[in-house]
Structure 1
C-alpha cells in the first residue's frame, strides 16, 4: 500500500488511502470462518496489538478493532466482566469505517500508554472518543498498515473480527459482535452476568 511522502501532505494522504481501502474491504460482508493454522503466530508476532484485561491471562483472544465501530465498542463492554476470570483481549487497531478512523487508530497506537488511550477512548465513545491525528509518525503509520494487511491476509471483512483458539488448539475467527451466549464458548471461561442495558440486544 502506498504510504505517501514523508511530509504532512503525504501522511494525510496515507490516512485517506487507509480509509478508502477499508471501505473496499467491508464490501464483502461478514462471515464466520476458521483461519489458517499459522494465523495465531502471525497475530502474536506480526500484528501490533494493545492488550486490555488480565496481565497474566488464562485466555487470550485477538480482535480487529476500528475506533469508530459501535460493535467493537460493545465487544469492549461485553468482555470487561471476563477480565477478572483471566481474559486478555488483544486489540489490533485498524482504520476502515470512517474518514476519521485511521487518525483515531493512529492516536491510540501512538499514545504513550496505548492501553490507557484505548480504554479512555471507549469510555468516552458516545461523545466521540479520542481526537484523530492528522499526521502520524512513520512508526505508527507502518504499524497501522501492518495491521490492515494482516486483517486482509486472514480474510476478515468487518470489525470486530475475533480470533480465538478452541480447546483443541484450533484457530477460529468470528466476524461481528458475538451473541452474549456464545462468549463463554469462545473465551472458554465461565459465563458472566451482563448488566449493561445496551448489550441486551445481543441476548
Structure 2
C-alpha cells in the first residue's frame, strides 16, 4: 500500500467514486477539491475535527490525513487534544471506535469461538495464524481465559499472505466440521484432515486485519477497539479488561 506522502508527491491516486457520509455543503465542496495532479482521491469519509477549519479525511485504502477546507494543505499524523488530564490522541480514539464497529459486525458463524460454560463477562477478538508460535502460546491460555469469563473469538490472519502454508491451514480450520476442535489441533502442530476449498472467510479476514492495522500475530482486539499486538498472559489480559478489579 502506498503511503499518503508518496501518493501526494507522485499523484498516484486512481480516480474512484467518492462516497461521503455527511451532506454538509462545506464537506461536499471539499470532496470535489481533493485532487492530486488532476485526479480525485478515493475518499470514503470526511468529517469535522475539533480543530476549526480542519477536516479528517479517510480514504478507501484505510489511510487518514487532515486537510484545510480548501484541500490546499495536508497534515499526515495523529491529532491530539491538550486536555486537563494530559494529551489525548483523538486520532487513535477514532481508529479504536471504527475497529470495534467493524469487528463487531462479523457474524459468529465466521468466527472460531472459545467460550466457557457461564455467560462471558467480556469478549476479545484475536487475529491468529496457526503457524505462529506466540499464537500457540496464547491458545494455551484460552482455558484459563474462559474460566475468568473471557470469550476468545478467532479471526484468520495468515502472516505470510494468502499463498502461505498458514493460509491453507486456516482455510482447513474454517472448512472443518468442528472449527474450534480443528483450531486446537492445528495449534498443537498436529496435521489437519479435510479440504481447504470450501466457501470460507479467511482471505476477507486477512484483508480486514490489514485495514485495521494488524501487522503480525497474535493481534488482540479489545471490546473498545484497542489493538494489542503480541502474546498477552491471561491475568494481564483480564486486568486490561477490568475484570481483576471486580
TM-score (norm 1): 0.64
The 10-residue stretch of structure 1 (155-164 or 98-107) with the greater mean CA deviation from structure 2:
98-107
Q: SS of the residue aligned with 1:147?
A: helix
Question: 1:1-203 counterparts in 2 under 5 A?
Answer: 35-46=95-106, 48-54=110-116, 56-97=119-160, 99-122=164-187, 125=188, 128-131=189-192, 135-137=196-198, 139-140=199-200, 143-165=201-223, 170-178=224-232, 182-190=236-244
Structure 1 residues 58 and 87: CA distance shift in structure 2, 3 A: same
For structure 1, list consecutive stretches of 5 or more residues without a partner in the other structure: 1-32, 192-203
Q: Distance in 1 between matches of 2:196 and 2:142?
A: 32
Q: Distance in 2 between matches of 1:150 and 1:180?
A: 25
Runs of at least 4 residues of structure 1 off by over 6 A? none
Please state which structure has a larger fraction of its residues in strand: 2
Mapped contact 1:62–1:92 kept (Cα < 8 A): yes
Q: Distance in 1 between matches of 2:193 and 2:158?
A: 11
Q: Distance in 2 between matches of 1:82 and 1:92?
A: 17
TM-score (norm 2): 0.53
For structure 2, list consecutive stretches of 5 or more residues without a partner in the other structure: 1-91
Q: Distance in 2 between matches of 1:43 and 1:132?
A: 29
Q: Distance in 2 between matches of 1:133 and 1:116?
A: 13
Q: Distance in 2 between matches of 1:77 and 1:120?
A: 12
What is the number of equivalent residue pairs in this alignment?
148
Structure with more contact order per residue of length (Cα contacts < 8 Å, sep ≥ 6) = 1
C-alpha RMSD over aligned residues:
2.5
Q: SS of the residue aligned with 1:92?
A: strand
Structure 1 residues 181 and 71: CA distance shift in structure 2, 3 A: same
